[in-house]
Amino acid sequence: MECIEHLQNPLGLLFLLHNAIIFHSNQLDYFEFEVQYFRFCGKMAENENTQLFWLLDKPPYFSEVWIFKTYNAKGNGLYISRQPHPSGVTLRIIESGNWTIKMCGKELQGKRGDVFLTIPSEPVVFSQDNPSCAWEWFEIQFSGPASKRFVQEFGLSKTRPMHTPKSPAQALKVFKMLHKIMGRQDRSEIEIMSWCLRLAMACGRHEEDDVDAALTKGQRLVKRAATILETEASLGLNVNELSFRLGVDRSTLTRAFKTHAGCSPHDFLDSYRLMRVKELLTNTSLGIEGVGKASGFPDLRYFISWFHRKCGTSPGKWRNSGG
């Protein structure tokens, strides 16, 4: 812990003890405090922290990694967090601020959309050193025996604690969606795990660049289209909009799908939406209108009509029959 006399403004130092966590692992009790420091110059900054724990949520039988908590912090001015013993395998994504992360002998600079990792075995210090800057980050902490291996899917490890996703805006969007889902009382295991995988896809691994290099242009188009649909299902993109997002004309996208997916982009969109609708009907308590909106159907009557054409029954009856 840094001595108060070493700080430029010791009277402006505020100790904030949080994350007082008692949990059990391997029949041992761990009690750990994460100590954060807010430093102020001249006036008090306003800081907001939102933290949610799921101490009673047990990992599902089919998973060796699970979300233990989410945390969101934001404020203005100088901020520093010193964690000699981080409490878990944790991902943070930067929403705003200019950050310095010190971990594993590295000093890294982070900006909006960058993701960085902390793990229990490695001390970390991260700070926002601009006294006039608003800052915010979102955090997800994982538990389970596969936690450290799972974060490798994000392109992160002990030797590489931070990286920039291919689409920082999309990574932020999925991060926030997971926070929202974990705050609901009706969250389901399948929904949470599906969004964890979407988060890994949105953040990406740099190793994927080598894989993409071996793909043809058409294969890359199909892969990128599938990623957009997976992470932005609620937007209800049509073929023209999807083509625009990919930077190609409709005929180019159609040729790519027919060659590499064996169907038209329209059929692919329909199949994906039907799969997503059935997933939400089966594994969530969302109302029919909510399921439609989450799958890209803002108009309830059209959604019901579309589902009836595909399945021969209404979404409500399909759900009640057990699928």
pLDDT digits (tens, 9 = 90+) for 142-188: 888 888 888 888 878 877 889 888 888 889 999 999 888 888 888 88
Residue ranges of domains in the chain: 4-203, 215-320
pLDDT of residue 322: 81
Residues 6 or more apart whose Cβ sits within 8 Å of residue 9: 39, 40, 41
**pLDDT value at 319 more than 90:** yes
Q: In this structure, what token pair is assigned to residue 114?
A: 């960058």
**pLDDT value at 132 more than 70:** yes
Q: How many CB atoms lie within 10 A of CB 56?
A: 5
Express each pLDDT in 201-255 by its tens digit.
Answer: 888 654 444 444 556 788 888 888 888 877 776 778 889 998 888 888 999 999 9
* CATH architecture of the domain with range 215-320: Orthogonal Bundle (1.10)
Nearest to 97 by CA among 47, 139, 133: 133
pLDDT of residue 194: 87
Express each pLDDT in 110-125 by its tens digit.
Answer: 999 999 999 887 899 9
Express each pLDDT in 62-101 by its tens digit.
Answer: 788 888 888 898 899 899 999 888 878 999 999 999 999 9
Phi-psi region of 172 (alpha: psi -120 to 50; beta: other; left: phi over 0): alpha
**pLDDT value at 48 more than 80:** no
Give the pairing type, strands 124-128 and 99-103.
antiparallel
C-alpha dihedral (300, 303, 307, 308), degrees to nearest 10: 60
Q: Which fold has domain 4-203?
A: Jelly Rolls (2.60.120)
* pTM listed for this prediction: 0.52
pLDDT of residue 317: 94
Dihedral over Cα of 283, 289, 290, 295: its sign: positive
Express each pLDDT in 274-300 by its tens digit.
Answer: 988 998 898 888 899 999 998 999 999
Query: Which uninterrupted H or E stretch holds 283?
Result: helix 265-283
Express each pLDDT in 92-111 by its tens digit.
Answer: 999 999 999 998 888 999 99
Band of pLDDT at residue 310, cut at 50, 70 and 90: very high
pLDDT of residue 115: 93
